[in-house]
Amino acid sequence: MAENTPASTPAFPCPRCGKPSRWSGNPSRPFCSERCKLIDLGAWAAEEYRVPLKQGRDFTDEAPDYED
């Protein structure tokens, strides 16, 4: 298991763009690049905001809607 030999490290698809990338010496893993990493984090955060509060989530603890 020579992990510091780049040639022996298997390529993996970047979760963001799907481009084959390598783990070895990659500070942005599992992403292929810092950019993909940031994009993915941003998308994830944006998704949080986009999720409707009343559905698609498991938490049913929130206060019910009062109907007048």
Q: CA–CA separation, 52 vs 13, rounded Å?
A: 30
- Of 6-14, 22-30, 37-45, 49-57: span binding Zn ion (CB under 5 A): 6-14
- Of 1-9, 11-19, 51-59, 60-68: span binding Zn ion (CB under 5 A): 11-19
Site track 21-50 with Zn ion (rule: CB under 5 A), x = hit: -----------x---x--------------
Tokens 């940031």 label which residue? 38
Q: Could you tell me if 11 and 32 are in contact, meaning their C-beta atoms sit under 8 angstroms apart?
A: no
**Residue whose C-alpha is closest to residue 34's, from 48, 16, 20, 46:** 16
- Which residues are near Zn ion by CB under 5 A? 14, 16-17, 19, 32, 36
